[in-house]
Structure 1
Amino acid sequence: MLSWLLRKSTALSEVVNHFINTPFPASSTPVDQANFLALDLELTGLNPRKDHIVSIGWVPVRGQEIVLSEAKHYLINSPVSVGQSAVYHGLHDHQLKNAHDLAEILSELLAQYAGYIFVAHNSRLDEQCLRFACQRCFGKAPRFRFIDTMQMEWQRLLRQGKVVKHDALKLPNCLKRHGLPAMANHQALEDAYSSALLLLSQLKLGGNTMTLSDLYLLSR
């Protein structure tokens, strides 16, 4: 039993090290040559230090095309009750009882998408939760690189001289503004897919000369 646990721990550590040692593309890389992974997390709360992931969805974007064949959605077995967060994501404790182990899903994510630029709408919370989740599961957290579609939309509206109202930056409203289809909100896979669609629309409006450096500036 002990030897099996040691082998598993070593394998998990190798996955994290592989992600850490895989370089991100240079900032000068044209956006059409970069690989992105749009993702979304549903959580037990909004505190990355104490709350937990209950579902994760992701959708790769390569060559400015969404790769639906690799889209994934997993329910995660949370160590704590979902509590009142069920009101938002619709997941309840009994649905998560036999769900996936978080370390298993994070290992898949890190193994398959090393070197990818991650994408999320209001990415700060997702990035922090991923880092704390990796720290809990692996004892260390790799550095992620995120593009924030919400910040990009805010910058775009400001440059157009528009007044940004309170709800204008919510994902459903951003989709509507870009003429994109409405999706169910607070469902991890659909939110990840929506973020991928929004990113592609933003890139199209940005023109053919955009680089990753431009995206990083817009994502601040």
Structure 2
Amino acid sequence: MFNWLFRQNTAINAVVNRFISQPFPAATTLVEHSPFLVLDLELTGLNPRKDHIVSIGWVPIHQQEIVLAQARHYLINSPVSVGQSAIYHGLHDRELKSAHDIADILTELLNQYAGYVFVAHHSKMDEQFLRFACQRCFGKAPRFKFIDTMQIEWQRLLRQGKVVKHDALKLPSCLQRHGLPPMANHHALEDAYSCALLLLSQLKLGGNAMTLGDLYLLSR
């Protein structure tokens, strides 16, 4: 029994350790040469300590092109009821009973996208939920590198001397401002794709000399 537990823990730790061992691109790397993974989560609530992920969608970007063939969307079997959060994401407990286990999806994410810079709109929330989910599943959480398209947009508007209202930073408002297609709000894959379009538009405005370091500063 103890040997089985040791082998299981070793395999679990290996998932996180492989992700940790893969270096991120240097801050001096031009954004056009940086691999990005744009993701979005739908949640049972806003507290990562007690709430859970019910769906995840992601879209890779290679050389400033969205790779739709590698886009993924998964429903997650939550250990708690979705409750009132169903009003926002439209997912109900009955739909999630046979959904994926979060550990399997995190394993795929960490195995395939080590060394990628992650991207989200209001990334602090997504990063916290990913870290807590990894801690629950693997006993430890890796360090992620995140770019926040909401913060980038906020900085861009401030530099233009505009008064930034809260609604102006929501993803649909940002898409409209950049002349991008409207989105069906609160679907993880569609939100991830829309966020990817927004990032590419922001990178284009930033110019060819923009580096990852520049993006990290704008994402603070």
TM-score, with structure 1 as normaliser? 0.97
Distance 1:6 1:162 in 2: 57
Q: Does 1:87 align with 2:87?
A: yes
Figure out how many residues of one structure are paired with residues of the other and give that number. 220
Q: Identify unmatched segments of 5+ residues in structure 1.
A: none
The amino acid that maps onto 2:23 is P
- SS of the equivalent of 1:41 reads strand
In structure 2, the residue matched to 1:37 is 37
Distance 2:196 2:39 in 1: 8
- SS of the equivalent of 1:167 reads helix
How many Å apart are 1:5 and its aligned residue?
Answer: 5.7
- SS of the equivalent of 1:37 reads strand
Residue identity (%): 79
Describe the superposition over 1:47-98 as per-residue Cα deviations: whole angstroms up to 9, x where unpaired: 0111000000000001000000000000000000000000000000000000
Q: Does 1:213 align with 2:213?
A: yes
In structure 2, the residue matched to 1:58 is 58
Pairs within 5 Å for 1:108-123: 108-123=108-123
Cα RMSD (Å): 1.2
Pairs within 5 Å for 1:94-173: 94-173=94-173
The amino acid that maps onto 2:128 is Q
Q: Identify unmatched segments of 5+ residues in structure 2.
A: none
In structure 2, the residue matched to 1:68 is 68
Distance 1:90 1:2 in 2: 43
In structure 2, the residue matched to 1:46 is 46
Describe the superposition over 1:10-34 as per-residue Cα deviations: whole angstroms up to 9, x where unpaired: 3221111000111101000000000
Distance 2:134 2:93 in 1: 22
TM-score, with structure 2 as normaliser? 0.97
- SS of the equivalent of 1:168 reads helix
Describe the superposition over 1:111-149 as per-residue Cα deviations: whole angstroms up to 9, x where unpaired: 000000000000000000000000000000000000000
How many Å apart are 1:4 and its aligned residue?
Answer: 5.8
